[in-house]
Amino acid sequence: MKRLLLTAFEPFGGETLNSSLHVARHIKRMSLPGASVRVEELPVDRHRAIESVLEALRENSPDVVIMLGEAGGRFRINPERVAINIDDFRIPDNAGNKPSDEPIVEDGPAAYFSTLPIRAITERLIEARIPAAVSNSAGTYLCNRLFYRVMHEIAAEGLATKAGFIHLPYLHEQTIPKQVDQPGLSLESMVEAVRLAIEVTLKALTTKAPRH
């Protein structure tokens, strides 16, 4: 049984929903073969979000951390390739923080790569007819910050945990009422996308594990 920590964020930026939160809550109710899933719902607060995740990491020692976040305006499910060492918030977080051009970890490396099988996940989603693409930027807001801090913690502590971030577009429930041209996906597609991402990740873990 592999331990999976799945994180998602509360609504922010004037939205009443966050697609990542809806998806994570659905995944929590599913039974996933070979995995025990813990879901952490995070505040959009640059300090409290990180504290909660680091605490969950220490308490749980997960084999895998999959972080989810909403990226309104994107068309596809985006497994992120890289987290960069910069906080440069375009809008304040829900606690009013709006850092500009600040390193996330003073003297930390410029970037960390995802250790999820992002290419295999993307290909599996496309095969399932769910729009997906590897993204090369998680932005410079809280999602990138969370992604960076988790990768930094894993590196600093020498953990074997695999981790990465997946950005989700808006849900149809968010775009349709606005009556403007905006991309979104159905809840069903997004839940299936995350379920498949978990499946592909767990499979990669077991095929790469040393055999005894």
Helix (H, G, I), strand (E, B) or coil at 129: coil
Shortest Cβ distance from residue 152 to ligand PCA (Å)? 17
Three-state SS letters, 76-114: CEEEECEEECCECCCCCCCCCCCCCCECCCCCCCCEEEC
Contact 39, 117 (CB under 8 A): no
104 vs 205, which CB is nearer to ligand PCA? 104
Neighbours of 140 (CB within 10 A): 20
141 vs 148, which CB is nearer to ligand PCA? 141
Q: Which tokens belong to 76?
A: 């596809």
Contact 122, 79 (CB under 8 A): yes
139 binds ligand PCA (CB under 6 A): yes
135 binds ligand PCA (CB under 6 A): no
141 binds ligand PCA (CB under 6 A): yes
9 vs 148, which CB is nearer to ligand PCA? 9
CA distance 144 to 141: 6
169 binds ligand PCA (CB under 6 A): no
Q: Active-site residue numbers?
A: 80, 143, 167
What binding mask, one character per residue, do residues 61-90 give for ligand PCA by CB under 6 A, x or -? --------xxx-------------------
Interface residues with ligand PCA (CB under 6 A) are 9, 12, 18, 20, 44, 69-71, 139, 141-143
